[in-house]
């Protein structure tokens, strides 16, 4: 996947999840100015501005190494999505299913994005996930 393929028109459902996976997988150090931008997105999510998550792709693209990790995570999520599309036995959503944006934006994603060291926080919180991509794919955002 090239960075031209990872673009947003409005809100991209894979972007926040791919960013979270990339934070957990990233072995480098993000520049302080990128951390500041990530923290701004986290603060916006806490304030209820879910659309601010669209900035995560632009932030990822500012660091070449991080962007490679981000793009791999994005592709992994797309593969899971394609598999779910093929599985006709997945349960249908009903009125009791929370909306995609309700649960984990503020409760899970925002705290990681607001941390002074988002990659370290993501690694700590996600270290126990046996399959990181599948686990994050199930989050409600």
Cβ atoms of 139 and 101 within 8 Å: the answer is: no
pTM over the 0.85 mark: no
- pLDDT higher than threshold 50 for residue 8: no
Domain boundaries in the chain?
Answer: 14-85+99-137
Cβ atoms of 13 and 81 within 8 Å: the answer is: no
Furthest-apart CA atoms within the chain: distance in Å = 46
Quick count: other Cβ atoms within 10 Å of Cβ 130? 6
Task: Say how far apart CA 43 and CA 114 lie, in whole Å.
Answer: 6
Mean pLDDT, range 113-140, rounded to an integer? 88
DSSP state of 105: I
Quick count: other Cβ atoms within 10 Å of Cβ 97? 11
Q: What is the DSSP string of 77-96?
A: HHHHHHHHHH-TTSPPP-TT
Lowest mean pLDDT: which of 11-15, 25-29, 78-82, 100-104?
Answer: 100-104
- pLDDT higher than threshold 90 for residue 70: yes
Q: Tell me the per-residue pLDDT of 41-50, one tens digit each, with 9 for 90 and over.
A: 999 988 888 8
pLDDT for position 61: 95
**Cα 44-69-49 angle, rounded to 5 deg:** 10
């Amino acid at each position: 996947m090239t960075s031209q393929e990872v673009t947003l028109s409005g809100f991209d459902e894979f972007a926040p999840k791919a960013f979270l996976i990339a934070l957990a997988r990233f072995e480098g150090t993000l520049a302080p100015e990128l951390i500041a931008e990530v923290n701004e997105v986290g603060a916006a999510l806490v304030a209820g501005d879910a659309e601010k998550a669209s900035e995560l792709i632009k932030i990822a693209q500012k660091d070449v190494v991080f962007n490679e990790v981000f793009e791999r995570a994005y592709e992994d999520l797309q593969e899971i999505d394609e598999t779910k599309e093929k599985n006709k036995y997945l349960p249908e959503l009903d009125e009791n299913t929370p909306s995609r944006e309700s649960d984990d934006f503020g409760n899970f994603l925002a705290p990681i994005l607001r941390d002074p060291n988002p990659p370290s926080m993501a690694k700590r919180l996600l270290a126990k996930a046996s399959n990181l991509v599948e686990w994050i794919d199930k989050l409600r955002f």
